[in-house]
Chains A and B, each alone.
Chain A
Amino acid sequence: MTESGLRAPEPRSSDGATLSLSWPAGRRLLWCMAWLALLVALAEVLARTAVVRAHLPAPSFGVANRQFELQWARLEAFVAEEGQPNCIFIGSSQVLRGIDPLVFEAAYRQKTGQDLRCFTFGVRGFDPDNSYEAARLVLQEYHPRLLIFGTDIPSYSTERADAVRGALGSHAWVRYRLGEPVVEGWLIDHSAALRAYLPLRFWFRASFDEQQAEAERFDTQITREGFGRLDHNSPVIGEPPQPGDSQEALFDILRDYTISGDQLASLENILALRSRQQVVIVEMPLHPTFFYFFGNGRADYDRGLQVVRAKIRPTQVEFIETTDLHLIADSGWANRNHLNTQGASVFSQWLGARMAELALSGRLPSIAEHGTP
């Protein structure tokens, strides 16, 4: 420690520039950039090679919801094989498990004689907010004539909204595809190597193997049209849920049911899409014993339904309600809010017929032709 160091005179600008490089400079950086270019090019070539691709999991866009990515991959494959869909069902896992496009198309054809190409884009955990972001993506890419949003009243719960809201819209790739200038999103969109790597990014986490297995299991349940088959049914479906029930977490979410203003705003956003595309809202069915999860039972549910109905009514958007139809027998439920394959078949047939009636009555323009109405 020196005193002189503290008392040295102030240097003057005439002492010369701080940055004093001698040339050639930066050869390490040049080498680095050359190597980077080579390595990236090599990775891109490998990622686009069929043999390598066959050994890799489905590509990822870096979105936290793996089911969304798998559904998106299904949709891209569907479009590649069949062309752009006329109608897309969008919503949560209730839509995924509850609407079989093939059955829907058959029922519609039977009444109208018109062929449709439909795709189910349901994703677990998708609340109105995520559904709106997904709808924007789907509309922008594939311009279906009809967007059917399968809504479920529990998803408007403030408790649930706080847990999952905003997940999809914040991801770089989604933002880029929706038109924001996001460098990372651009990279993901243009780099097959990066998309091939991204599913492996959690390799070091203990939960990776389990999540990977779950994704693979999920993938095998999804049909070409995006419908998620569930072939089991719940043996306790007729009994009111008790603590210890496999869905008991719903007690916590719905006990003090309040309606999230943010989720209602997202519903309004979905309704606003009618200026670009035909929009229909469908209330996804719940088993009557589901209402026991609400603190005030059916009264809470009806209150939520009334608020949703009040939002939709002024917009002239068709709202197909299902609460009191009791369409599905107990054998058609995988659990209290998800239909199994049998229940989905019944519901899809009913929905196809209902949509056909709307089309025939002129309340819904024809959806058989692709393109903006």
Chain B
Amino acid sequence: MTVTSLNFAAFVLVLLAAYYLVPHRAQNPLLLVASYVFCALLGWEFLGVLLLVTLAAFVSAYGVVAGRRARRVWLALGITVQLGALAFFKYSDYFLPQAFKLLHLLHIPTPDAGLALLLPIGLSFYTLQAISYLVDIYQGKSKPAANPLHFALYMAYFPRLIAGPIERAGTFMAQLNRPRRVKNASIARGLGLITLGLTRKILVAEILRPMATTHPFHVPTDYSGPQLIAALIAYALFVYNDFAGYTSLMRGVSSLFGIELSSNFNLPFFSRNFTELWTRWHISLSTWLRDYIYYPLSRALLRRDPGGRRLITVLVPPLVTLAASGLWHGATLNMLAWGAINGVFVAGERLISLARPASPPDKRPRLQQWLGRAVVVPLVLLALVPFEATLPQAWAYWRGLLVWTSTALPDARYLAPVALGCLVDWAQYLSREELFFIKWPRWLQGLLLALALLAVFLITRAGTQGPFVYQEF
């Protein structure tokens, strides 16, 4: 069941009807059962993993609180279980073949391949949630969930199960404790987010998918310089609109249930420096990495270098944090390279600011802000190449961008989804509103919704859709 299918729409509508009919105290159990059903529909074995991981985190949290002297052990144990699940399901097929190669060199017989495990849907996201939950309890920022059902729902809540956003326990469970009121404005907002999500996913990302994925990145030498530039722009817009579309759609669905999910994107291609970019792109992951890797690492380094002037203090936290981000996306050298390159950008920016402190982006002259964007966006796009290509392919791609062997032009048809994607962002930028149309006259909003629904219906006639990009991480 894909979340852009009619089956999912029917699932949500039936659930909404039941949700509005049952008393408040039955709503959270209902959502939990629905979330487990949803998970099982995606793969019953995924449900088993989710239940085990949830149970482990719940028990560990009580160990952290009750353990007194053994708090640290319980925390380590809890985090190890989460990271272990991640390592086993997500990374074993990368690390085992490498280990087998080493053993083979030592003439120790090994199997030919890894375990070829299926990555449980959403594992990368809900294990991070569990880790943040445990660390926050350890640090005294929050207490363990009093109600195991609420914690289970925090881990399994179906609108965020597949690909986040990565929520914090305190914020999310506070909503579960409150009675929910879904009013006209919430419905309008929810439908607006769903419309926006469908527009991004179906009308931009899905149309860009054939051009954006695989071939130009895997065989860059077959393409001219202009085609490689176009493919890179198409790919960036594809990944962005695919993920932002998914997030909007699921936030919209969730708000129909009276539960607000975090925003994951805030016009990333309008970032004026690299640091700002990571407050605008995949915000829930970036914030998680900031809170649980970047800050602790910075604090540890600052204890040794209180002035924060040593290179190691400036460079290591962004490099390590973004390299970790790369590895979270996949245990491959190219993902590590993607993270490391972005880490170098941020670290370089910090280095420059040591010599010449910069004012916050909002305070800079407008021209300087646009110049910042003109530098940040192309470099971020270039760094995106290894997100899809292996390192030799990425190298060939970058060479192809610089050395044009031909000037063949890209297919002009792709200008349409690119223009639509840019138009949506531009409208959001000008109005400073995610739902830029929410203040328009109702007849105009109705027209926009009608056009979006018609376009989505027509585009989906072309056949099956691809999976969400971040569903596979």
Residues of chain A touching chain B, judged by Cβ–Cβ distance below 8 Å, are 1-13, 15-22, 25, 27-36, 39-40, 62, 197-198, 201-206
Contact = CB atoms under 8 A, between A and B. Distances in A.
Interface in B183-229: 183-184, 187-188, 191, 207, 210-211
Given A28-B442, A198-B461, A11 B184 contact: no
A39 B457 CA distance: 13
B116 interface: no
Contacts of A36: 450, 453-454
B447 interface: yes
Contact of B183 (A22, A29, A34): A22
Contact of B20 (A18, A22, A33, A202): A18
Contacts of B459: 201
Contacts of B411: 206
Contact of A12 (B25, B182, B187, B451): B25
A32 B450 contact: yes
A21 B177 contact: no
B108 interface: no
Contacts of B23: 12-13
B4 interface: no
B180 A7 contact: no
A22 B450 contact: no
B118 interface: no
B184 A22 contact: yes
A204 B446 contact: no
29 contacts: A1-B168, A2-B170, A6-B142, A6-B169, A6-B173, A7-B143, A7-B146, A8-B174, A10-B24, A10-B25, A10-B177, A18-B27, A18-B181, A19-B182, A20-B183, A25-B184, A25-B187, A27-B446, A29-B191, A31-B443, A31-B449, A35-B446, A35-B451, A36-B450, A39-B450, A197-B461, A204-B210, A204-B414, A206-B411
Contacts of A4: 174
Contacts of A29: 191, 446, 449
Nearest to A9: B177
Nearest to B145: A6
Contacts of B143: 3, 6-7
B258 interface: yes
Nearest to A60: B461
Closest 7 CB pairs of A and B: A31-B446, A5-B174, A13-B23, A1-B170, A11-B179, A35-B450, A8-B177
Interface in B371-402: none
Given A8-B177, A11-B24, A28 B458 contact: no
Nearest to A34: B446
Interface residues of B, number: 54
A6 B146 contact: yes
A12 B146 contact: no
A4 B178 CA distance: 11
Contact of A15 (B171, B179, B188): B179
Contacts of A30: 446
B181 to A, nearest CB: 5
Nearest to B28: A10
Given A28-B445, A39-B454, A3 B142 contact: yes
A201 B462 contact: yes
Contacts of B169: 1, 6
A203 B27 CA distance: 45
Nearest to B411: A206
B19 interface: yes
Contacts of A33: 446, 450
B136 interface: yes
B439 interface: no
Contacts of B25: 10-13
Contacts of A1: 136, 141-142, 168-171
B413 interface: yes
Interface in B411-442: 411, 413-414, 416-417, 442
Interface centre among A35, A197, A198 (most CB of B within 10 A): A35
Contacts of B443: 31
A34 B450 CA distance: 9
Contacts of A22: 183-184
Contacts of A203: 413
A6 B170 contact: yes
Given A5-B173, A22-B184, A27 B442 contact: yes
